[in-house]
C-alpha cells in the first residue's frame, strides 16, 4: 500500500500548529490549476482538534472547503458524527452532514441533515432521537427542527413519539438539559389520571443547583378535581464531613371538600465544631390516606407522624471516654414521648490486677418524666483455664441516686460459669463421608444477687431497679460434623437447657432446640420443652426452609418454600410461604409469591409479577391479593428514560 502524507499551511506564521491541515490516504492527487487536493481510500484529514475520515475527501485550497463522501466520520474532539457525505468550511468552522447520526444523552440523534457549528452546536433537520440501537429502532422521537448544544441543552419543535411507525404522543415544543453535570432547568411534566384527583399534570417546575453540594426541586401539580398542590422535592445538601440531609414537603387545599392536606420530611446529620453531632429525623403527614390519594398505584404506607431530633457528643478526656446525648422522639399519633435530656455516659480507664480485669462507669439521665438519676458502677472479670475446664467469674456493683425520691440504691451481683468441650469420633463413614464427629459442650453457671431493702422509685430510662436473684443454669450443646475429603462440615446441632428454681426447689422444664441443615439448600429448626416432673413435652414447633437455584441453558430458576407448624395442647397451627422466580424465555420473567394458611384451608395472600423485556421497553404486570381484596398494576416504560411510562393511572377510565 502506498500512502503519501502532505502538509499544507494556511497561515503566514507556519509556527502555529493549529493552522495546519494534515491529510493522508491511499492515493492523493493535486490539481495545480484548480488548487484541489483529491484523497482516495482511507482518506483522513486533521485540523487542530477536528478530524475527519471517509472513503473520499476533496479539499479546495483556495476556498478552504472540504468535501467528504462514503463512511464519513467527523470528530470535533468531544463527539463523533457519522454520515454518508459531509461538507466543511475551514474558515467559518461550519459543517453540513447528510444522512448523519451522532451519539448523545445515552442515545442517538439521526438527521436528514446535521449542521455543525463551532462551539459544539448542532442543528438537525428532519431528525429523530432514540435509545434503541437497532436499525430501524423500535421507537423514536421525531422533530423537523432540533438544536443541540452538546453537553448543554436540547430544543425541538414540535416533537412526536412514534412506536413502530405509529404516532402515540405529540408536544408542540420540547426543552431538555443534556448536561453531564448537574445543572438547573425545567422539569419534565407527567400526565395521567386517577380516581381521586381526576386528570393531572405533575411536575410543572424547576430544578435548581445551589453550588456543587446542594440542589432543590420545586414544582406545582394540577389536578382537575382537587386543584393545585405545591411541592418541594428533596432540598438536598452534602457538605461532608460537616453536614448532609434533605427536606421534602407538599401542601394542597382540596377543591372538593376544602380540606388542607400536607406532608413534611426532614432528615439531617450535622457535625458542630467540638465533636458535637446533631441529627434530626422528622416524618409527618396530615392523615393516613394522603399518599394513597395522591400516589396512584402505590399501596398506602402506615401513618408516620413523628418528630425526632438527636444531639450527641463523644470524646475522650484524660483517657476517660465520654458520651453526651440529647434525644427527643415524639409520636404525634399515639402521643408517645421518649426523651433523654440529657444522658451522660463515662467509661473510666480499665486496669488489671493479676488476671482480673476491672472496669468502672458513670451515667446520668434526665428523661421524659423531667426527673433524673445518676450512678457509678463497676465490674471485674476473671477467666481461668483449669485442666479441661474453662471458668469465668464476674462481680458487678452499682450505686445510683434518684433525684425525685432523694434516695440512694446500692446493689451488687456475682456469677460463675464453668464449661468444657468433649469430642467423639466415629470409626466409620457413609460415602462420600469418611468420618463423623460429635462435639459436646456442657456448661453450668450460677448467679447471685442479694435481696435489696424495700425500694420505691420511679423508673428512669437507662436505670433499673435491682431485685434479689439466685439462679443455677445448666446447658448441654451438641454439634454434629462430618468430613468429606479434607473438608469438615457442620450439619446438625441440639441444645438442652434448664435452670433451677430455688423458690420452688425444682428445675424448670428443659428447653430443647435443634437444627439440621444442608448448606444453603435446606434448613429445619425444632423447638419444644420437656417437664421433668410431669414427664411430658410442651408445645412443639418445626420450621422448614428450602431454597434452590439453578440455571437451564442460561435461564435462571429460583425457588423457595418455608413451612412452619406448631403443636399446642389444644390446636395445631400450620402455614407455608412459597415463591418462584423464573425466566421461561430470554425476554420473559415470572415471579410468584403466595402464603397458605392450613387452618383456613386457603391461600390468604399472593403476588404475581410478570415482566416482559421489549428490548428498549419493559412491561411489568403485577397482581396482588390479600384476604378477600385484590389489586393490580400495569406499567409500560422505557428502560433508559424511566420518566416516560404508561401505567394504569395514565390509562384512567380505559382500565378498571
Residue 110 placed within a domain:
no
Q: Which residue has the higher pLDDT, 389 or 192?
A: 389
Residue 423 placed within a domain:
yes
* Residue 11 banded pLDDT, cuts 50, 70, 90: very low
CB distance 593 to 579 below 8 Å: yes
Q: What's the domain range around 26?
A: 1-92
Half-sphere exposure for 321 (CA within 13 Å, toward CB): 6
Note the pLDDT tens digit of each residue in 137-167.
888 889 999 998 877 778 888 989 888 888 8
pLDDT mean across residues, the chain: 86
Q: Which of 254, 236, 233 is nearest to 244 (CA)?
A: 236
In whole angstroms, give the CA distance from residue 97 to residue 78: 17
Backbone angles phi, psi at 654, to 5 degrees: -80, -15
Mean pLDDT of 462-476: 89
Has residue 577 got a pLDDT over 70?
yes
Residue 608 placed within a domain:
yes
Q: Which residue has the higher pLDDT, 442 or 573?
A: 442
Q: What is the percentage of the chain residues whose pLDDT exceeds 90? A: 42
Pull the grid cell for residue 47.
Answer: 485540523
* Residue 1 banded pLDDT, cuts 50, 70, 90: very low
**Predicted local distance difference test score (pLDDT) of residue 4:** 44
Mean pLDDT of 379-392: 92
Print burial letters for 225-239: b (CB count within 10 Å at least 16), e (below 16): ebeebebbbebbbee
Contacts 24+ apart (CB under 8 A), 564-570: 565/541, 565/598, 566/539, 566/540, 566/541, 567/539, 567/540, 567/541, 568/539, 569/539
Q: Out of 41, 65, 92, pick the residue that ends a domain.
A: 92
Backbone angles phi, psi at 219, to 5 degrees: -160, 170
Note the pLDDT tens digit of each residue in 219-266.
999 999 999 999 998 899 998 888 999 999 999 999 988 999 998 888
CB distance 617 to 140 below 8 Å: no
Residue 109 placed within a domain:
no
CB distance 499 to 471 below 8 Å: yes
**Predicted local distance difference test score (pLDDT) of residue 307:** 79
Has residue 348 got a pLDDT over 90?
yes
- Rounded alpha-carbon distances, angstroms, from residue 169 to 15, 200, 214, 534: 56, 17, 35, 78
Has residue 109 got a pLDDT over 80?
yes
pTM of the model: 0.63
In whole angstroms, give the CA distance from residue 587 to residue 598: 36
Statement to judge: residues 477 and 618 lie in one domain: no
Q: Which residue has the higher pLDDT, 301 or 419?
A: 419
Domain count, the chain: 4
88 CB-near residues (< 8 Å, 6+ apart): 50, 52, 65, 66, 67, 68, 74, 94, 95, 96, 116
**DSSP secondary structure letter of residue 302:** P
Q: Which residue has the higher pLDDT, 78 or 268?
A: 268
Residue 70 placed within a domain:
yes
CB distance 603 to 594 below 8 Å: yes
**Predicted local distance difference test score (pLDDT) of residue 653:** 52
Residue 527 placed within a domain:
no
Q: Which residue has the higher pLDDT, 419 or 108?
A: 419
553 CB-near residues (< 8 Å, 6+ apart): none
Q: Out of 35, 60, 92, pick the residue that ends a domain.
A: 92
Statement to judge: residues 288 and 372 lie in one domain: no
- Rounded alpha-carbon distances, angstroms, from residue 227 to 135, 164, 201, 223, 258: 45, 37, 11, 5, 10
Query: For 11-15, 126-130, 501-505, 607-611, which range has the lowest pLDDT when averaged over its residues?
Result: 11-15
Note the pLDDT tens digit of each residue in 597-616.
888 888 889 999 999 998 88
Q: Out of 77, 92, 107, pick the residue that ends a domain.
A: 92
Statement to judge: residues 233 and 371 lie in one domain: no
Statement to judge: residues 380 and 498 lie in one domain: yes
Has residue 178 got a pLDDT over 80?
no
Q: Which of 380, 372, 387, 339 is nearest to 356 (CA)?
A: 380
Pull the grid cell for residue 583.
Answer: 425466566
Statement to judge: residues 497 and 548 lie in one domain: no
Statement to judge: residues 362 and 492 lie in one domain: yes
Statement to judge: residues 199 and 269 lie in one domain: yes
CB distance 56 to 72 below 8 Å: no
Statement to judge: residues 357 and 503 lie in one domain: yes
Statement to judge: residues 477 and 372 lie in one domain: yes
Has residue 25 got a pLDDT over 70?
yes
Statement to judge: residues 209 and 247 lie in one domain: yes
Query: For 126-135, 412-421, 427-436, 481-490, which range has the lowest pLDDT when averaged over its residues?
Result: 126-135
In whole angstroms, give the CA distance from residue 541 to residue 561: 17
Residue 467 placed within a domain:
yes
Query: For 259-273, 301-315, 524-538, 642-656, which range has the lowest pLDDT when averaged over its residues?
Result: 642-656
Mean pLDDT of 112-120: 85
Mean pLDDT of 495-520: 93
**Predicted local distance difference test score (pLDDT) of residue 299:** 42
**Predicted local distance difference test score (pLDDT) of residue 17:** 56
Statement to judge: residues 584 and 642 lie in one domain: yes
* Residue 19 banded pLDDT, cuts 50, 70, 90: low
Q: Which of 129, 179, 176 is nearest to 152 (CA)?
A: 179
Residue 168 placed within a domain:
no
Note the pLDDT tens digit of each residue in 64-101.
888 999 999 988 877 788 999 999 888 888 889 999 98
**Predicted local distance difference test score (pLDDT) of residue 399:** 93
CB distance 606 to 621 below 8 Å: no
Mean pLDDT of 289-317: 69
State yes or no: cis peptide before 241, omega within 30 of 0. yes
Half-sphere exposure for 596 (CA within 13 Å, toward CB): 14
Statement to judge: residues 303 and 356 lie in one domain: no
* Residue 7 banded pLDDT, cuts 50, 70, 90: very low
Amino acid at each position: 500500500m502506498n500512502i503519501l502524507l502532505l502538509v499544507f499551511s494556511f497561515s503566514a506564521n507556519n509556527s502555529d500548529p493549529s493552522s495546519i491541515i494534515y491529510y493522508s490516504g491511499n492515493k492523493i492527487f493535486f490539481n495545480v490549476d484548480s488548487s484541489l487536493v483529491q484523497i482516495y481510500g482511507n482518506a483522513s484529514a486533521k485540523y487542530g482538534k477536528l478530524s475527519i475520515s471517509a472513503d473520499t475527501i476533496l479539499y479546495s485550497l483556495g476556498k478552504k472547503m472540504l468535501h467528504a463522501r462514503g463512511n464519513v466520520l467527523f470528530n470535533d474532539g468531544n463527539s463523533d458524527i457519522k454520515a454518508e457525505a459531509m461538507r466543511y468550511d475551514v474558515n467559518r468552522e461550519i459543517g453540513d452532514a447528510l444522512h448523519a447520526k451522532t451519539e448523545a444523552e445515552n442515545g442517538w440523534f439521526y438527521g436528514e441533515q446535521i449542521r455543525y457549528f463551532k462551539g459544539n452546536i448542532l442543528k438537525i433537520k428532519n431528525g429523530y432521537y432514540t435509545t434503541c440501537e437497532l436499525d430501524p429502532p423500535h421507537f423514536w422521537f421525531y422533530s423537523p427542527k432540533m438544536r443541540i448544544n452538546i453537553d448543554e441543552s436540547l430544543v425541538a419543535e414540535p416533537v412526536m413519539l412514534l412506536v413502530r411507525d405509529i404516532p402515540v404522543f405529540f408536544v408542540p415544543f420540547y426543552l431538555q438539559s443534556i448536561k453531564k453535570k448537574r445543572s438547573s432547568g425545567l422539569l419534565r411534566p407527567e400526565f395521567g389520571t386517577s380516581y381521586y384527583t381526576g386528570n393531572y399534570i405533575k411536575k410543572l417546575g424547576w430544578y435548581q443547583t445551589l453550588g456543587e453540594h446542594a440542589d432543590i426541586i420545586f414544582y406545582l401539580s394540577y389536578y382537575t378535581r382537587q386543584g393545585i398542590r405545591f411541592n418541594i422535592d428533596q432540598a438536598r445538601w452534602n457538605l461532608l464531613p460537616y453536614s448532609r440531609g434533605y427536606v421534602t414537603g407538599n401542601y394542597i387545599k382540596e377543591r372538593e371538600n376544602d380540606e388542607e392536606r400536607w406532608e413534611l420530611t426532614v432528615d439531617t446529620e450535622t457535625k458542630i465544631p467540638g465533636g458535637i453531632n446533631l441529627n434530626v429525623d422528622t416524618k409527618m403527614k396530615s392523615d393516613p390516606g394522603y399518599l394513597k390519594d395522591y400516589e396512584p398505584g402505590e399501596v398506602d404506607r402506615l401513618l408516620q407522624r413523628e418528630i425526632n431530633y438527636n444531639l450527641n457528643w463523644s470524646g475522650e478526656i484524660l483517657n476517660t471516654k465520654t458520651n453526651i446525648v440529647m434525644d427527643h422522639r415524639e409520636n404525634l399519633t399515639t402521643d408517645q414521648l421518649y426523651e433523654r435530656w440529657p444522658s451522660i455516659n463515662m467509661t473510666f480507664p480499665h486496669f488489671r490486677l493479676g488476671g482480673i480485669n476491672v472496669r468502672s462507669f458513670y451515667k446520668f439521665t434526665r428523661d421524659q418524666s423531667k426527673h433524673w438519676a445518676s450512678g457509678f458502677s463497676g465490674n471485674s472479670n476473671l477467666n481461668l483455664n483449669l485442666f479441661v475446664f474453662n471458668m469465668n467469674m464476674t462481680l458487678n456493683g452499682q450505686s445510683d441516686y434518684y433525684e425525685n425520691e432523694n434516695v440512694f440504691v446500692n446493689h451488687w451481683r456475682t456469677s460463675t460459669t464453668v464449661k468444657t468441650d468433649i469430642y467423639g469420633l466415629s470409626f466409620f463413614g457413609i460415602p462420600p463421608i469418611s468420618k463423623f464427629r460429635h462435639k459436646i459442650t456442657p456448661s453450668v453457671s450460677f448467679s447471685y444477687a442479694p435481696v435489696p431493702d424495700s425500694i420505691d422509685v420511679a423508673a428512669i430510662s437507662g436505670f433499673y431497679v435491682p431485685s434479689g436473684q439466685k439462679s443455677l443454669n445448666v446447658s448441654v450443646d451438641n454439634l454434629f460434623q462430618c468430613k468429606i475429603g479434607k473438608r469438615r462440615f457442620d450439619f446438625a446441632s441440639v441444645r438442652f437447657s434448664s435452670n433451677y428454681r430455688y423458690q420452688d426447689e425444682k428445675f424448670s422444664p428443659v428447653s430443647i432446640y435443634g437444627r439440621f441443615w444442608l448448606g444453603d439448600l435446606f434448613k429445619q429448626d425444632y423447638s419444644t420443652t420437656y417437664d421433668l416432673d410431669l414427664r411430658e413435652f410442651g408445645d412443639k414447633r418445626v420450621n422448614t426452609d428450602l431454597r434452590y437455584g439453578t440455571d437451564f441453558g442460561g435461564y435462571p430458576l429460583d425457588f423457595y418454600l418455608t413451612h412452619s407448624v406448631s403443636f399446642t395442647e389444644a390446636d395445631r397451627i400450620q402455614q407455608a410461604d412459597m415463591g418462584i422466580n423464573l425466566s421461561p424465555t430470554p425476554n420473559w420473567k415470572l415471579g410468584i409469591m403466595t402464603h397458605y394458611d392450613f387452618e383456613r384451608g386457603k391461600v390468604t395472600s399472593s403476588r404475581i409479577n410478570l415482566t416482559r423485556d421489549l428490548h428498549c421497553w419493559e412491561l411489568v404486570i403485577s397482581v396482588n391479593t390479600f384476604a378477600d381484596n385484590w389489586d393490580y398494576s400495569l406499567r409500560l416504560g422505557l428502560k433508559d428514560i424511566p420518566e416516560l411510562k404508561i401505567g394504569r393511572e395514565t390509562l384512567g377510565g380505559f382500565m378498571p
